[in-house]
C-alpha cells in the first residue's frame, strides 16, 4: 500500500480504526473496521461506516486481543469475508487521507490486507497520526497516552472503547477539537 500523490487541502480525511486478532499484521487478522470520513476544511462528517470481518484462523489469535476487541462467534455470525470488506472500504476511501490514532498499526494491517486480497486502497501517500498531532499541539505527558486518556483530557465522550467505529469517532473528535481550539 504505497499511496499516491494528490492535492490534500480539500481532500476528505478517512479516520480509520481496526480491531484485530493480535498485533502482527501478517500473522493476525482484522476483525472489525470503523470509518469516519470528514470533509475539509470544515471537518463535517460525510459518512460513518463499520463492518465486522470474519477471521479465517482464530487459532492463531492472541486471546487477549480477542477479549479486547470483544470478538465473539455469536456477535460475528453476520461478519463478511476480508475481501468483501476491502472492496467496500476501497470505494469509501478513494482519494482520501488516511488518519488514525497510532495509525502505523492500522496501516500495517491494511497493507497486509491489500497484499492478501489484491484490492488496493487509494489513500494519499502520507498519513495523519492523530496521536502524534496531539503531542505536537499539547505536549501531553506519557501517562495520558492512549485514545481514552486523551479523550478524557479534551472532555470528549468516548464510550464503547475498543470497538472500531467508536474509536474512529473518538479519533475524529480529537483531531477536530485540536484543529479548532489549538491552531
Domain boundaries, the chain: 13-181
Q: Which fold has domain 13-181?
A: Nucleotidyltransferase; domain 5 (3.30.420)
The whole-model pTM stands at 0.93
Q: What share of the chain is helix, strand, coil (3-state, %, to 5)?
A: 40, 20, 40
Query: Residue 171 in contact with residue 156, Cβ under 8 Å?
Result: no
What would you report as the CA-atom Rg of the chain, rounded to the nearest whole angstrom? 16
Backbone φ and ψ for 34, nearest 5 degrees, come out as: -125, 140
Tens of each residue's pLDDT in the chain, 183 residues: 667 777 788 899 999 999 999 998 889 999 999 999 999 999 999 999 999 999 999 989 999 999 999 999 999 999 999 999 999 999 999 999 999 999 999 999 999 999 999 999 999 888 999 999 998 888 866 556 689 888 988 899 888 888 999 999 999 999 999 998 766
pLDDT at 1 (0 to 100): 63
Amino acid at each position: 500500500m504505497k499511496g499516491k500523490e494528490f492535492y490534500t487541502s480539500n481532500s476528505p480525511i478517512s479516520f480509520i480504526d481496526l480491531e484485530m486478532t493480535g498485533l502482527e499484521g501478517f500473522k493476525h487478522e482484522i476483525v472489525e473496521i470503523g470509518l469516519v470520513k470528514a470533509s475539509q476544511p470544515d471537518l463535517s462528517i460525510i459518512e460513518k461506516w463499520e463492518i465486522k470481518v470474519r477471521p479465517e484462523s482464530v487459532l492463531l489469535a492472541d486471546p487477549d486481543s480477542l477479549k479486547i476487541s470483544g470478538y465473539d462467534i455469536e456477535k460475528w455470525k453476520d461478519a463478511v469475508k476480508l475481501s468483501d470488506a476491502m472492496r467496500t472500504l476501497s470505494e469509501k476511501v478513494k482519494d482520501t487521507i488516511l488518519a488514525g490514532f497510532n495509525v502505523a498499526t492500522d496501516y500495517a494491517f491494511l497493507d497486509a490486507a491489500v497484499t492478501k486480497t489484491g484490492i488496493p486502497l487509494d489513500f494519499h501517500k502520507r498519513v495523519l497520526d492523530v496521536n502524534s498531532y496531539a503531542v505536537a499541539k499539547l505536549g501531553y505527558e506519557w501517562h495520558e497516552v492512549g485514545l481514552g486518556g486523551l479523550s478524557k483530557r479534551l472532555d470528549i465522550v468516548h464510550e464503547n472503547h475498543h470497538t472500531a467505529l467508536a474509536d474512529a469517532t473518538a479519533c475524529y473528535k480529537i483531531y477536530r477539537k485540536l484543529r479548532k481550539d489549538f491552531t
